[in-house]
């Protein structure tokens, strides 16, 4: 197995959940979610060919995934992007958890968070997603190309915007 | 949003398993995902070589015919075919090889490059649409002129000139329609990317 194949396997294993969350943040429609997921994996596979290990794999993967997701959004720019919160909340609970009641509650909460995210501009969505995944300001700066101080300001603004959207829709 | 609220949200977020929230069960299966991606990459590579070989065969064949003893209208038709095949083949290889893809060191750089690429796509599509509009009447004029020189020997309307004209009409109509469709798609992409970059600048 080549180094690229090893890295790809490791990436799929380690970032499976993170990539699925990124997909859910950028795309609402299930058929397009699958397409985006595949596009991201293909982009990572191609990008790993040029990955020499001189940069952080963690930020490298997030950067490729987010860039691909933004690319996907611009390619499907003519499609409707929002879904009503009621419509979204009525969907079946897909998130796994140990207790069914807790799973249903958690699921509904996270579905609403994802839906609120869809109402935010792309940059805010990207900063929030990356920050929620646990990236530091420095890593956020590497992925987005913004300065660290700018990241701080914009992230606070994004958090406020998320809170406003959630409150306005009684999330 | 308070730090506590943010931390709670972060915990919920990281504990959230949405891998199965997509409609496909396959996406939850690591092996299937990996195989599917490899298969897709391999298929792209096969298609790329198929494109290269087809373009070489078509261009060599029509190029050879062009220099044999054929009539002017046949020469025009063959030149028209090569005119379509060659740029399409080159574009296809570029796309499959990944050379048409945008590569940015960070999202901002990526967006700027992608915007430039979308604009290039709009211009390319416009140029193709204009080329179709200009080339088609030109070819028709040449054909009609040639046909008029042989008016005594051809039987209208079922003759090769009518066939040739209709054939060219079909090719250029398809080219014009395809170019316009591509232009609309790239224009929408360009506008979306511009909007995203404007948000960046705010």
pLDDT above 90: residue B165: no
Same domain assignment for residues B77 and B118: no
Q: Which of B13, B32, B42 is nearest to A116 (CA)?
A: B13
Chain B hits for A30, Cβ within 8 Å: 22-23
Distance from CA of B102 to the nearest CA of A (A): 9
Contact B25/A at CB under 8 A? no
Q: Which of B52, B78, B101 is the last residue of a domain?
A: B101
pLDDT above 90: residue B141: no
Q: Please tell me the distance from the alpha carbon of residue A43 to that of residue A25, in angstroms, as a whole number.
A: 18
Q: Which of B129, B127, B141, B125 is nearest to B172 (CA)?
A: B129
DSSP A76: T
Same domain assignment for residues B127 and B77: no
Flag if A134 and B6 touch (Cβ within 8 Å).
Answer: no
- Whole-number Cα distances in Å, B50 to A101, B126, B175: 54, 28, 22
pLDDT above 90: residue B180: yes
Same domain assignment for residues B85 and B150: no
- The interface predicted TM-score (ipTM) is 0.77
Provide the domain limits for residue B132. 102-202
Secondary structure class of A169 (helix, strand, coil)? coil
Query: Please, which pLDDT band fits residue A129 given cuts at 50, 70 and 90?
Result: very high
pLDDT above 60: residue B27: no
Q: Is domain A83-171 annotated with CATH 1.10.10.10?
A: yes
**Contacts A–B by Cβ distance under 8 A:** 141
Same domain assignment for residues B96 and B106: no
Contact B40/A at CB under 8 A? yes
Distance from CA of A151 to the nearest CA of B (A): 11
Give the helix ranges, DSSP H, for chain A: 3-26, 30-47, 57-75, 85-89, 100-118, 122-132, 137-144, 148-168
pLDDT above 70: residue B16: yes
Q: Which of B101, B124, B152 is the last residue of a domain?
A: B101
Q: Mean pLDDT, to the nearest integer, of A61-86?
A: 73
Q: Which of B118, B84, B3 is nearest to A77 (CA)?
A: B118
Contact A88/B at CB under 8 A? no
Q: What angle do CA B120, B125, B127 make, to 5 degrees?
A: 95
Q: Mean pLDDT, to the nearest integer, of A88-101?
A: 45
- Which option is the CATH number for A1-82: 3.40.640.10, 1.10.1740.10, 1.10.10.10, 2.30.30.90? 1.10.1740.10
Same domain assignment for residues B94 and B125: no
pLDDT above 60: residue B196: yes
Chain A (14-73) residues lying within 8 Å, Cβ to Cβ, of chain B = 16-17, 20-21, 23-24, 30-31, 33-34, 37-38, 41-42, 45-46, 63, 66-67, 70-71, 73
How many residues does this entry show for chain A? 171
Same domain assignment for residues B48 and B122: no
Residue B96 lies in a domain: yes
Flag if B13 and A17 touch (Cβ within 8 Å).
Answer: no
Same domain assignment for residues B141 and B119: yes
Same domain assignment for residues B134 and B44: no
pLDDT for B55-98, tens place per residue?
Answer: 888 888 877 877 777 777 677 777 777 777 777 777 777 777 66
Return the C-alpha torsion angle B28, B33, B36, B38, nearest 10: 180
Under 8 Å between Cβ of B196 and B135: no
Return the C-alpha torsion angle B87, B90, B94, B100, nearest 10: -20
Residue A19: exposed, middle, or buried by beta-carbon count in 10 A (0-12, 13-18, 19+)? buried
Q: Please tell me the distance from the alpha carbon of residue B76 to that of residue B82, in angstroms, as a whole number.
A: 10
Instruction: Give the best-scoring range by mean pLDDT among A72-76, A134-138, B67-71, B162-166.
Output: A134-138
Chosen for mutation from B8, B13, B97 (greatest number of chain A CBs closer than 10 Å) is: B13
pLDDT above 80: residue B102: no
Same domain assignment for residues B93 and B115: no
Same domain assignment for residues B202 and B111: yes
Query: Please, which pLDDT band fits residue A143 given cuts at 50, 70 and 90?
Result: confident
B99: number of Cβ within 10 Å: 9
pLDDT given for residue A131 in this prediction: 92
pTM strictly above 0.80: no
Query: Please, which pLDDT band fits residue B149 given cuts at 50, 70 and 90?
Result: low
What average pLDDT does chain B have? 76
Domain count, chain B: 2
Residue B4 lies in a domain: no
Residue B13 lies in a domain: no
Under 8 Å between Cβ of B115 and B197: yes
Contact B112/A at CB under 8 A? no
Same domain assignment for residues B42 and B92: yes
Flag if A70 and B107 touch (Cβ within 8 Å).
Answer: yes
Residue B156 lies in a domain: yes
Flag if A30 and B188 touch (Cβ within 8 Å).
Answer: no
Q: Mean pLDDT, to the nearest integer, of A11-25?
A: 86
Same domain assignment for residues B115 and B194: yes
Q: Which of B51, B83, B101 is the last residue of a domain?
A: B101
Flag if A74 and B98 touch (Cβ within 8 Å).
Answer: no
DSSP A2: -
Residues above pLDDT 70, as percent of chain B: 76
- Lowest mean pLDDT, pick from A78-92, B144-158, B169-183: A78-92
Distance from CA of A102 to the nearest CA of B (A): 12
Residue B1 lies in a domain: no
Chain A (96-115) residues lying within 8 Å, Cβ to Cβ, of chain B = 96-97, 106, 109-110, 113-114
Instruction: Delimit the domains of chain A by residue range.
Output: 1-82, 83-171
If one compares A169 and A58, the residue with the highest pLDDT of the two is: A58
Flag if A21 and B13 touch (Cβ within 8 Å).
Answer: yes
Under 8 Å between Cβ of B107 and B58: no
Instruction: Give Cα B107 distance to the centre of its chain.
Output: 25
pLDDT given for residue A96 in this prediction: 44
């Amino acid at each position: 197995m080549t180094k690229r194949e090893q890295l790809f396997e490791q990436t799929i294993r380690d970032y499976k959940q993170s990539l699925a969350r990124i997909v859910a943040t950028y795309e609402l429609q299930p058929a397009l979610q699958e397409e985006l997921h595949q596009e991201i994996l293909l982009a990572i596979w191609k990008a790993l060919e040029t990955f020499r290990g001189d940069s952080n794999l963690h930020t490298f993967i997030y950067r490729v995934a987010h860039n691909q997701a933004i690319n996907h959004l611009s390619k499907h720019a003519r499609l409707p992007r929002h879904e009503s919160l009621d419509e979204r909340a009525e969907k079946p609970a897909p998130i796994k958890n140990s207790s069914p009641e807790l799973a249903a509650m958690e699921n509904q909460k996270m579905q609403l968070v994802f839906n609120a995210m869809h109402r935010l501009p792309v940059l805010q969505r990207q900063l929030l997603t990356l920050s929620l995944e646990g990236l530091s300001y420095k890593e956020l700066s590497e992925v987005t190309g913004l300065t660290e101080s700018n990241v701080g300001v914009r992230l606070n603004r994004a958090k406020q915007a998320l809170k406003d959207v959630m409150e306005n829709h009684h999330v | 949003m308070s730090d506590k609220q943010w931390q709670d949200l972060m915990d919920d977020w990281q504990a959230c398993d949405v891998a199965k929230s997509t409609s496909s069960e396959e996406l939850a299966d690591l092996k299937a995902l990996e195989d599917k991606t490899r298969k897709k990459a391999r298929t792209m590579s096969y298609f790329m070589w198929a494109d290269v070989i087809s373009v070489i065969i078509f261009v060599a064949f029509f190029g050879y015919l062009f220099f044999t003893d054929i009539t002017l209208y046949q020469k025009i038709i063959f030149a028209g075919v090569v005119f379509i095949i060659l740029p399409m083949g080159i574009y296809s290889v570029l796309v499959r090889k990944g050379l048409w893809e945008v590569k940015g060191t960070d999202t901002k750089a990526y967006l700027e490059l992608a915007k430039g690429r979308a604009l290039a796509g709009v211009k390319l599509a416009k140029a193709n649409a204009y080329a179709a509009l200009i080339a088609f009447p030109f070819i028709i004029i040449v054909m009609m002129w040639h046909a008029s020189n042989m008016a005594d020997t051809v039987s209208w309307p079922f003759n090769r000139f009518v066939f040739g004209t209709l054939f060219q009409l079909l090719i250029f109509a398809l080219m014009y329609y395809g170019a316009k469709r591509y232009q609309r798609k790239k224009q929408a992409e360009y506008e979306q990317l511009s909007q995203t970059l404007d948000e960046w600048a705010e």
